[in-house]
Structure 1
Amino acid sequence: MHAPDCCKEEMLSVFNQCSPRGYICVVLCFPCDDRRRDDAVRHIRQSLTQLAHERPLFAARLYTNSDGIAFMKQSCDFDIPFEVIRSIDGTETDYEQLKREEFPPGRFIDPRYGIPGLGDANRGPLPVSKVDVTFARGGLLLSIFLQHAITDGSSLRVFLEALGNQTRHVPTFSPSDQKLRVSSPILHSIASRRLTDETEFRQRVGRCPEYAVLPDLSGPTQPLMQRLPIQDPERIGKIFVFTKQRLDELRNLIQKENESQYRPTAYMSLATLAFAHITRARVEAESFPSGLPPGPDAKLWNSVNWRNRAFHGATHNYFGNAVLPAVTRVARTQVSAACYNDRDLARLVPLVKASIDVVDEEYVSERMSMMSQAPDPRMVGVNYDPRSPEMLAFNTWRHFGADVEWAIPGVPVAKPDTIRRATGGFGLGTALILPTQFGSERQELYVSLSVNAMQALCEDERWRHWVDRIIG
């Protein structure tokens, strides 16, 4: 018997409508007995079939109309696409060697991870989720693809928990509604609006300075790129490992220098440290024309999950996006000084905290109202250019999925050795705290930069003072 209401079609809600429409991908790395590969594949396939049956949202399809409005269709006949990716030349990676290398980020950069999302050239339908398996000698790499249009880091955790529990035949509650249960405007199609509606939208964007209007309809939530002849620099990614002991020392130092009763969180401390030193490296190494001329203010773009900050109880059954940017703006000279002086570094932390603390129900409602007024969601952009060297986008997935337990035939462990983000190519000016298990004595910060900026960062002795080791 099918789950109730599994066959329905609906417009995406406001926040999902105005979220990026590509895929996010993570790879869970497990050891595996090579003799049990067929058993592992069969069990994963069966688990996905059962998950699609019980949670039709995970098997839904997304598509857009000619006005850029995104819809979701659920059907009892849809499945979660699954395939086994086999080596083209017949060679396989050795899992133990990959583990000894600590799963370097370059191993998870491949065009197949950058599958096309919804856009002008691809209006769908596309699956909400898809899964594939790649085998290494002695290992299994489980790749999870989720459509960003209705998935953020918290929703990624929900999906991993649901699938992991399914492999163990353990029942679980999973949020199953992509609509927020709050009194909010509905995003209308452009056909239902007059062109004068754009005036109201632009006024509301003006009250949300981290957003911008994209005249070329390249959104939603894509950067506003400056029209300058900039060379695209060669990029690279590395993982910087910080031990709990060193982060505690950093937190204590900041508290002491600020003469404060407040001990900053590890996130706040690490974000501030990264903001200062990565900005310095980029400004020094990404000079025009390989980067835009730096502006007078440095900006740290924090991704803030507002589930516990607004609309109490409204996200209990919500599967979708609930993240907004909160921007810390500081004079570039002040950020540079923080790279050389502990007190200057400490003084940045309250500024970062204050910029995040403004995210409350009023903040969220203002942005929801702005998005709901967009004549076309593809007009909604973010007001930064990743080629600007004074910008850093910082996010955390630390608590998203590493503690999920699995039962896969041939896999001798319940939890993956690691979870890696996988993409079609390296980013520029991004830093992401990767998932780690609860109680872990380390944090892994995945940084993507131009090759020259990464070299400058790795040669920065005051940055390296806090880093335990570098992967990649």
Structure 2
Amino acid sequence: MDKDILSLSPNHPKPGESCPPITLKVTKFYKGGMMLCFSTHHAIFDGGFIRTFLEFFGKETEKIPGQTFVREHTSRPNMDHHTRTDITNHVFPEYDFTTDTDLVSGMNRLNMSSTAMAQTQTPPRAVCVLFKLQNSTLQMLHGRALTELRDKYGPDAFVSMVDTLSAVVWVHTTRARLPHLNLADKTSFTTAADARARLSPTFSADSWGNVYTQTSASTSVQDLVQAWGSINSDSTPAIVAAAWRIRQAVSQVSTPGYIPSRIALAASLADPLMEGVAFRKALQPNHTGLGCSVWTHMGADVDFGIPGTKGKADYIRKTWSANDGSMNIMQRRGITKGEAPWEVLLALREDDMERICAPAELGRWISSWCA
């Protein structure tokens, strides 16, 4: 998928440059077929809004241009009071606002951690691969996770199918990276959580705009892959434990003060771009971290009503370029229900990608993949 051909917004804007909030390019193919390429500005669109916008676009119900936006805008709750939240003693594990630079002389390299070493080297080229995992396989893993976690933490212990799939990728990504990691390194997994229903007052589920927050799960590499002496060839126990970590991170978003403190933090920054820099510095996606975006809900069931088509898209793909340490759980029929397969778009450096595809690694769980 070449974004420079299929998209009207091919380049990421630089500071000071303007960018349209959304563009649409329609590409028709010889011998039939049509591709709709939507490009959105992430400062305005989060996953929930993309879903709402695609449904709005497919219905074509607006008779007066702008009417829906004006109505939605006037009914939005005011969040100004959250900006005054006292964050003096708050900890934000998903961000690193420190100003140290890790510039180390050659004489000190022998004493450097793998994290510091990685920051002084040119990162290898990243590649993207789309993995497909059958629903029956994920159901089996999910069922085992629920059984083991409820035996350990009680009958109310819970992880979702998405938690389990995320854990599969996090564990096997870290196992694939082991040749250039230290077991003591910290590894983090981040994902976005919809803040709409968690705010007070709440936003409607279909409210427009960017209303999400980030959450982070982290531990040592050794703990994540359970490398106690030797690494178990069976990754299932590590996957179950990682799924629990991810669920705890997602659950904490609903605790009082979590979202208001993030709103206050964002309001306190002199430059909004500082947030992204601090987030990436904490995650280290090109070293030990993995950033996940869940897109299961974003348009697979939308009927666009285009004459001569089935209405719903046969495929939904991402045109964005590869960034090491990023993953997307792709759009899925039924979102999390039904028997449709699950697809994950993963970007890693080339040697890590080669290792993760091995039959004993992620290749154990997946039914197919394509670059």
Do both share a fold (TM > 0.5)?
yes
- Name the SS of the counterpart of 1:142 in structure 2: strand
Give the aligned partner of residue 294 of structure 2.
396
Q: Which residue in 2 is equivalent to 1:100? A: none
Question: Structure 1 residues 408, 152: closer, same or farther in 2, change over 3 A?
Answer: same
- Matched to 1:130, the amino acid is T
- For the pair 1:177 / 2:86, whether they are aligned, the reply is no
Any residues of structure 2 matched to 1:58-207 within 5 Å, and which? 107-110=1-4, 113=7, 115-122=10-17, 124=18, 126-137=19-30, 138-166=32-60, 176-177=72-73, 181-184=77-80, 207=91
Taking only the aligned residue pairs, the percentage that are identical comes to: 19
Q: Evaluate the alpha carbon distance shift between residue 343 and residue 257 of structure 1 in structure 2; reply closer, same or farther with a 3 A threshold.
A: farther
Report the counterpart of residue 412 of structure 1 in structure 2: 309
Give the Cα separation in 2 of the matches to 1:178 and 1:152: 20
> CA 1:351/1:229 → structure 2, altered by over 3 Å: closer, same or farther?
closer
In structure 2, which of residues 265, 270, 280 is the aligned counterpart of residue 370 of structure 1? 265
In the alignment, the residues of structure 2 paired with residue 256 and residue 183 of structure 1 have an alpha-carbon distance, to the nearest angstrom, of 41
Given the superposition, is the C-alpha separation of residues 120 and 313 from structure 1 closer, same or farther in structure 2, using an over 3 Å criterion? closer
Please name the residue that 2:364 is paired with. Answer: 465
Q: Once the 2 structures are TM-superposed, how far is the Cα of residue 385 of structure 1 from its aligned partner?
A: 5.2
User: Which ranges of structure 1 fall in alignment gaps of 5 or more residues?
Assistant: 1-106, 189-199, 216-224
How far residue 454 of structure 1 moved from its aligned partner, in angstroms, is 0.7
**Which position in structure 1 is the counterpart of 2:110?**
none
The offset of 1:155, in angstroms, is 0.8
Corresponding position: 1:431 with 2:315: no
Alpha-carbon RMSD: 3.4
Alpha-carbon offset, residue 243 of structure 1: 1.4
For the residue of structure 2 that corresponds to 1:150, the secondary structure is coil
TM-score by length of 1: 0.63
How many Å separate the matches in 2 of 1:141 and 1:240?
A: 21
In the other structure, the counterpart of 2:146 is 255
So what's the TM-score if we normalise by structure 2? Answer: 0.79
SS of equivalent to 1:369: helix
C-alpha contact (below 8 Å) 2:182/2:221 kept by paired residues: no
- How far apart, CA to CA, are the structure 2 residues paired with 1:178 and 1:368? 20
Report if the CA contact (8 A) 2:187-2:220 is conserved.
yes
Instruction: Decide which moves more: 231-240 or 336-345.
Output: 336-345
What CA distance in whole angstroms lies between the structure 2 residues aligned with 1:178 and 1:307? 16
Tell me the equivalent position of 1:194: none
Q: 1:226 to 1:311 in 2, by over 3 A?
A: farther
How far off its partner does 1:273 sit?
1.3
Structure 2 stretches lacking a partner, 5+ long: 100-115, 227-231
Q: Which amino acid aligns with 1:443?
A: W
- Is 1:349 aligned to residue 243 of structure 2? yes
What is the alpha-carbon distance in structure 2 between the residues aligned to residue 178 and residue 446 of structure 1?
A: 37
**Residue of structure 2 aligned with 1:281, choices 168, 176, 179:** 176
Deviation for aligned residue 1:115? 2.9
Residue 300 of structure 1 aligns with an amino acid whose one-letter code is: F
- Residue 194 of structure 2 is aligned to residue 310 of structure 1: no
Which SS does the other structure have where 1:356 is aligned? helix
Q: How many residues align?
A: 335
- 1:183, distance to aligned residue in structure 2 (A): 4.2
Partner of 1:327: 216
Q: Secondary structure at the match of 1:345?
A: helix
2-structure distance, mates of 1:394, 1:315: 24
Q: Distance in 2 between matches of 1:395 and 1:325?
A: 10
Distance 1:121 1:237, change over 3 A: same
- C-alpha separation between the residues in 1 aligned to 2:74 and 2:165? 32
SS across alignment from 2:300: coil
**Residues 84-141 of structure 1, C-alpha deviation per residue, up to 9 Å, x if partnerless?**
xxxxxxxxxxxxxxxxxxxxxxx3454774634443351x2x3221111122221111
Q: How far 1:466 moved relative to its partner?
A: 1.7
Q: Deviations over 1:164-217 (max 9, x none)?
A: 112999x996674399513425989xxxxxxxxxxx99x7596323123387xx
Shift of residue 280, structure 1, vs aligned partner? 1.4
Q: Say which structure is richer in strand.
A: 1
> Residue 10 of structure 2 aligns to a residue in which SS?
coil
Matched-pair contact (CA < 8 Å) for 1:293–1:388:
no
What is the SS of the residue equivalent to 2:73?
coil
* Alpha-carbon distance in structure 2 between the residues aligned to 1:244 and 1:317: 28
Give the match's secondary structure for 2:139. helix
Separation in 2, partners of 1:121, 1:367: 24
- CA distance in structure 2 between the partners assigned to 1:385 and 1:329 by the alignment: 9
Residue number in structure 1 paired with 2:346: 447
Q: SS at 2:333's partner residue? A: coil
Is the CA contact 1:205–1:213 (under 8 Å) kept in the aligned structure 2?
A: no
Tell me how far apart the structure 2 counterparts of residues 228 and 296 of structure 1 sit (CA, whole Å): 13
Do the aligned partners of residues 149 and 376 (structure 1) sit closer, same or farther apart at CA in structure 2, a change above 3 Å counting? same
User: What are the superposed Cα offsets for residues 223-259 of structure 1, whole Å, 9 maximum, x if unpaired?
Assistant: xx99943223122111111111111110122223332
Cα separation, 2, equivalents of 1:317 and 1:277: 35
Instruction: Give the superposition deviation at 1:436.
Output: 1.4
Does the C-alpha gap of structure 1 residues 339 and 398 become closer, same or farther in structure 2, counting only changes over 3 Å?
A: farther
Contact 1:176 1:317 in 2 (8 A): no
